[in-house]
Structure 1
């Protein structure tokens, strides 16, 4: 490995740094998105049951303890349930929009790595070709393959390594983006459900319990 790094020239070090960066960004987002995704139907059902018993404070506490944007949207709806329907809808919508940047955090960095590593590899290829022509000029007309091998190694290695980093980085970016889109759809569904529940379906205070919030 170290021998290949040496043959690839100094451009291999930025490529190595890019690969480490891509791995860190991907794993961090994967873990974050995994925690952010919950079984919203079961969660909503449990929240509805607790609220209909008149214990909104307990429902809010459960939302506080549950990670992810869906729980945050439901919590926002519960805390503003005394607002007029149109105001409540705007409040829930704003809460959902505020969660999207948190979901997409660091995805731009991963995409940047996927885009620049082929260019770094191409730069290494150009530098390698320059080395080849410099050796040919210095040793002409008796240039031998051994004199040119350094530039050839650099040209081939940097391109190959750049592509080997870029391809999985771009695949990882698209995979994470699909997870973000799925969670966003869950957020939209949860927002509509909690709004409908608070405006139309919630049991009147005192019917099944007493409001405690």
Structure 2
């Protein structure tokens, strides 16, 4: 603990700001990662259960299952179910509207994380410039001859802020990459679920219309006779 306090004393105010930003970044990463993790599930099993309920005309049960999941994927599936009787175009429009509603929730905090990733190395550079300015002030005050120990503290401050800035930037960009990969996976699941459920309802409608066509054919033949 004392070593950490000494490090922050040597790094100065810039190092404190960098530390605060890295704590905020870790908080965003942990919250988003948990949210993405809880939003993903076995989609194949989920869709299979939904389709079985629809086949048995248990539409309310299917919608209730979607509501219970509380996931972007289940929200899209719910939208498809509720608009299944309105045709393919209406289904896709409803699914797209639901996806547009869910995307801001999925992307929340990612812009701030990217911003911190860009700022932290700049803060390291700023800390270096501040330390160099202090060195020149010390040289100016010391005259022609100055002990190296006098400027060593400022040089150390410059190195600490630069090093911490680079390490922080790499860590934040790594967190951003992991979250972006998770986000892409969820968006892909939303698209797959929408396509599969839309195809399911279209095929179900075609199957339901076939017997009616078969019944009309004999009646037409009798009328011709």
Normalising by structure 2, we get a TM-score of 0.87
CA RMSD across the alignment:
1.6
User: Where in structure 2 are there 5+ consecutive unaligned residues?
Assistant: 209-225
| Count of residues paired in the alignment | 206
Shift of 1:193: 0.7
Which of 193, 196, 209 in structure 2 is aligned with 1:193? 196
Query: 1:151, CA displacement in angstroms?
Result: 1.0
| Partner of residue 97, structure 2 | 94
Pairs within 5 Å for 1:52-71: 52-71=55-74
8 A contact 1:36–1:68 mirrored in 2: yes
Shift of 1:84: 2.6
2:114 to 111, 115, 135: 111
1:7 partner SS: helix
Cα offset, 1:187, TM superposition: 0.7
Cα deviation, 1:93-149, whole Å, max 9, x if unaligned, reads 221232222111111111111110000011000000011111011102121111101
Structure exhibiting the larger radius of gyration computed from Cα positions: 2
2:82 alignment partner, one of 79, 86, 99? 79
Gaps of 5+ in 1: 205-213
SS at match of 1:10: helix
Q: Deviations over 1:185-207 (max 9, x none)?
A: 11111010111112223675xxx
TM-score, length-scaled by structure 1: 0.92
Is 2:32 aligned against 1:29? Answer: yes
Report the equivalent of 1:167.
Answer: 170
Looking at structure 2, the residues matched to 116 and 85 of structure 1 have their Cα atoms a distance apart, in angstroms, of 46
Find runs of 4+ consecutive structure 1 residues off by over 4 angstroms: none
Q: Considering Cα pairs closer than 8 Å and 6+ residues apart, tell me whether 1 or 2 has the greater RCO.
A: 1
Task: Report 1:172-183 matches (<5 A).
Answer: 172-183=175-186
